[in-house]
Amino acid sequence: MYTIAVDAMGADNSPDAIVEGVNLAIERYDDIRIRIYGDEAGIQEHLKPSSRVVVVPTTEVITNEEEPVRGLRRKKDASIVVAANDVKSGEADAMVSAGSTGATYASSLLIIGRCKNIDRPPITALFPTINPSRPRVLMADAGANPDMRAVNIEQFAIASAFYSRNILNVANPTVGLINNGTEEGKGNALTREAYDLLKANPNINFKGNVEPREILSGVVDVLVTDGYTGNIVVKTMEGVSKSLFSLIKSKIEDGGIKSKLGGLLLKDDFNSLLAEFDDEQMGGGMIIGVNAPVMVTHGSSGPIAIMTAIAQMRTSLKSQMVEQISDYFAKSDEDYE
Site residues, a second copy (CB under 8 A): 129-130, 143, 146-147, 178, 180, 187-189, 191, 211-217, 228-229, 231-233, 235-244, 246-248, 250-252, 255, 258-259, 261-266, 268-270, 272-273, 276-277
Shortest distance, CB of residue 120 to a second copy, whole angstroms? 13
Shortest distance, CB of residue 180 to a second copy, whole angstroms? 4
Shortest distance, CB of residue 12 to a second copy, whole angstroms? 16
- Enumerate long-range contacts of 193-198, CB under 8 Å, 24 or more apart: 193/150, 194/150, 194/153, 194/154, 194/224, 196/150, 197/150, 197/151, 197/153, 197/154, 198/153, 198/154, 198/157, 198/224
DSSP character string of 38-51: E-HHHHHHHPPP-T
Question: For residue 202, with 0-12 CB atoms within 10 Å meaning exposed, 13-18 middle and 19 or more buried, which class applies?
Answer: exposed
174, β-bridge pairs: 205
Question: For residue 172, with 0-12 CB atoms within 10 Å meaning exposed, 13-18 middle and 19 or more buried, which class applies?
Answer: exposed
Which is nearer to a second copy, 115 or 178 (by Cβ)?
Answer: 178
Reduce the DSSP state of residue 36 to 3 states and report it.
Answer: strand
Shortest distance, CB of residue 53 to a second copy, whole angstroms? 35
Which is nearer to a second copy, 89 or 272 (by Cβ)?
Answer: 272
Shortest distance, CB of residue 237 to a second copy, whole angstroms? 5
Which is nearer to a second copy, 49 or 185 (by Cβ)?
Answer: 185
| Closest-CA residue to 176 (of 216, 148, 121, 146) | 216
Which is nearer to a second copy, 151 or 237 (by Cβ)?
Answer: 237
Which is nearer to a second copy, 239 or 333 (by Cβ)?
Answer: 239
